[in-house]
Amino acid sequence: MKIIKSKDVTFEYIKRDENGEVEGINKALDNINLDVKEGEFISILGANGSGKSTFAKHINSILMPTEGTLWVDGMDTSDEDKILDIRMTAGMVFQNPDNQIIGQVIEEDVAFGPENMGVETAQIRERVDEALKTVGMLDYKKNSPNKLSGGQKQRVSIAGVLAMHPKCIVLDEPTAMLDPAGRKEVIRALRALNDVEKITIILITHYMEETIYSDRIFVMNKGKIAMEGTPREIFTRVEELEEFRLEIPQITRLAYELRKEGMRIPECVLTIKELCDALSR
């Protein structure tokens, strides 16, 4: 079952100068074709301005393609009548943790989605507790969001989406504003969601090390999909990745350099353990 199917999706917007005159047309997305199967963990990598966030907004029907079609669980995202259903199916988490928490108490924030959907009170309670438990924030449910760390805030945001019982969660650079500890927290929570709850994850990021565990990676550049494959397939193409202004994790880089020096090392090394294994042979 394809949860997301994108066919020739193009998004153009008109660029205007100071006087409102048309300066040109920008193609933020250029013929995007991709499929995501239910239960997959997908990463979309790309530098700023590569179009990855624009694509994310399409999945949630915040933007609609100017050409081509995008289906979420079989629903056309351009279909105005289906907007709420699409948003319930594909939830979205944004970059800035402060600007997406609506409630002044954590449980009230997590309840916001189900409240909008018209879920009954008793069930909201259940969903809120369950969602907070899944991301490990149940103990904080009566707290104010202002006192939390960045990683905790993002986990609350994820819970807020979870409580809507989506099939798929799209995360638009959820870790860009976090410190390393917070980043780890969020990625760990996402992997658990994917493993245990079987929720489809689409992670948009520019940190390559966060994508090691995904099933497939799409690399975007200038509105196009420039590369596609498993992490192992992608990470071997060091020079291309650098061209796209991405940064190769140090371990992969080290293995790559050693290989260039003529050492016998497998083509792609993702973890320290793999490097140890390769070198102790």
Interaction of residue 75 with another protein, rule CB under 8 A: no
Report the C-alpha gap between 32 and 220 in whole angstroms: 10
What is the C-alpha separation between 158 and 174, in angstroms, rounded?
Answer: 10
| Residue 227 engages another protein in binding (rule: CB under 8 A) | no
80 touching another protein, by CB under 8 A: no
Asked whether the beta carbons of 44 and 52 are under 8 A apart, the reply is yes
Q: Is the CB of 8 or the CB of 113 nearer to another protein?
A: 113
> Is the CB of 117 or the CB of 138 nearer to another protein?
117
Regarding 72 and contact with another protein (CB under 8 A), the answer is no
Q: Which of 51, 65, 150, 174 binds another protein (CB under 8 A)?
A: 150
101 binding another protein? (CB under 8 A):
yes
Task: Find the DSSP H helices in the chain.
Answer: 52-59, 83-89, 106-117, 121-134, 150-162, 180-196, 231-235, 238-243, 250-260, 272-280
Could you tell me which residues come within 8 angstroms of residue 162 by beta carbon, excluding any fewer than 6 positions away?
Answer: 91, 130, 131, 134, 135, 169, 193, 199
Site map (CB under 8 A) of another protein, residues 244-263, x = contact = -xxx-xxx-xx--xx--x-x
In contact, 58 and 77? CB cutoff 8 Å: yes
Q: Which residues bind another protein (CB under 8 A)?
A: 47-49, 60, 62, 84, 87-88, 91-92, 94-96, 98-105, 107-108, 111-121, 124-125, 128, 142, 146, 149-150, 160-161, 164, 176-177, 179-182, 206, 245-247, 249-251, 253-254, 257-258, 261, 263, 272-273, 275-276, 279-280
